[in-house]
Structures are given as C-alpha cells and as structure tokens.
Amino acid sequence: MDPSPHPLSQFVLKMHSRCDLACDHCYVFEHADQSWRGKPVVISDELLDLTARRIAEHARTHRLDTVHVVLHGGEPLLAGRNRLRRAAQSLSTALSGVSALDLRIHTNGVTLDEQFCELFAEYDIKVGVSLDGDRAANDLHRRYRNGRSSHIRVLRAIELLRGPRYRHLFAGLLCTVDLRNDPVTVYDALAELAPPR
C-alpha cells in the first residue's frame, strides 16, 4: 500500500463515555442526541489492544515519526488508573520501534490527584485541563448535575500540575468562550495560572 500524502498522526481515544459534570453546553451529554446512553461505559481491554495495533499499523505504513494520542471522554479519569495504565502500556508496546508516542489526556480535572499524576509521570502522559476562567465564568456552564460549582476542584488539580513534581506534565488549559463572560476577567484568571498553553 502506498503511503497517503495526508496520513493521520493524531488520534482521540475515548476511554470513558460518561462524565462527572453536567456542563450545559456539552454537545455529547446535554443535547438532543442521547445515543451515548446505549453505548459501553468504559473501553474494553480488547478494544484498547486492537486500537493500539491499528494505530501502529497506520504509523508503520505511513512512516510516521511521531503519533499523537489523546485519551478523552466523557471524562477519561473515570476509566480509573488501571484502565489508563492499560491504554498507555498497550499504545507504548504497539508503537515501540515504529513511532514515538506523544500521549496526552484531556480532563475536567475534578478527580485529578497525586495517584493519577504518578501514573502520568510514569508514562509521560501530558495533561490538559478544561477551565473557563474565574469562578463566575467557569460556573456558568461547568457544574455538577446538582448545580454545585466545579471551580475549586479544578483549581486544586491545576495547582497540583503547577507544582515542581508534575509541572512537566502540564500541557495547558482549554477554555470554552461564552460571550456573556468578561473577556479580560477570563483571560486574567487563566493567565494567573501560568499554563504552558
């Protein structure tokens, strides 16, 4: 097979199909298409292994120097440390000798703790966190189902990532922009956290 002139080099792997927040702007959980309710909650070991092998086949065929994989959700931390470890091991094994692996996870951060960070350090998994600004901006959409704020827990996760032990894992912040929020206040709140991106 001839290599494609435009091969895929980034893959998003859904680890867990549910979320611990109920963000009202979420296109997956909070809008008309509710088909997610009938899908498996967590990715199986078999599917992880098959996906890793297929990514490696693609990388080998297209002679990719680096493959970028983002562990995603729902909320990927809900998959648990064992399942996330399995994903990292499976991808690392499949891509060994084929391509470098740039492995990342994107999370809302509310359950991020030192045990997760230790796992991410072991496999050099970079961590991106969703945060929409200061508490008022963030809580406009990113709340628990009962309406409680998620802001303080996300800040706790970011502080953990900003510490010297895990700073190398901190990939950056993702902000959903709502025009009702003051842009300067949002920017200042995010910039104050000194994210790398």
Map out the domains of the chain as residue ranges: 10-191
Contact 116, 77 (CB under 8 A): yes
Answer yes or no: is pLDDT of 21 > 80: yes
Confidence of residue 27 (pLDDT cuts 50, 70, 90): low
Fold of 10-191: TIM Barrel (3.20.20)
Confidence of residue 5 (pLDDT cuts 50, 70, 90): confident
Distance of CA 80 to the CA centre of its chain: 13
Quote the mean pLDDT of the chain: 93
Answer yes or no: is pLDDT of 32 > 90: no
pTM: 0.92
User: Which helix or strand (DSSP H or E) is residue 184 part of?
Assistant: helix 183-191
Answer yes or no: is pLDDT of 1 > 60: no
Torsion region of 127: left, alpha or beta (phi above 0 gives left; psi -120 to 50 gives alpha) = beta
- CA distances from residue 61 to 6, 52, 68, 87, 99 in whole angstroms, order as listed: 12, 14, 16, 22, 11
Burial class, 108, CB count within 10 angstroms (exposed 0-12 / middle 13-18 / buried 19+): buried
Confidence of residue 191 (pLDDT cuts 50, 70, 90): very high
Give 136-169 pLDDT, tens digit per residue: 999 999 999 999 999 999 999 999 999 999 999 9
Which 8-state DSSP code applies to residue 55?
H
Q: Which residues contact 184 (CB under 8 A, 6 or more apart)?
A: none
Confidence of residue 127 (pLDDT cuts 50, 70, 90): very high
Give 42-89 pLDDT, tens digit per residue: 999 999 999 999 999 999 999 999 999 999 998 999 999 999 999 999
Task: Give backbone dihedrals phi and psi of 46, rounded to 5 degrees, phi first.
Answer: -60, -45
Q: Please report, for the chain, how many H helices and E strands are present, in that order.
A: 6, 5
Residue 49 in tokens:
């292994």
Answer yes or no: is pLDDT of 23 > 60: yes
Residue 33 in tokens:
């298409």
The amino acid at residue 152 is: I
**What pLDDT does 160 receive?**
98
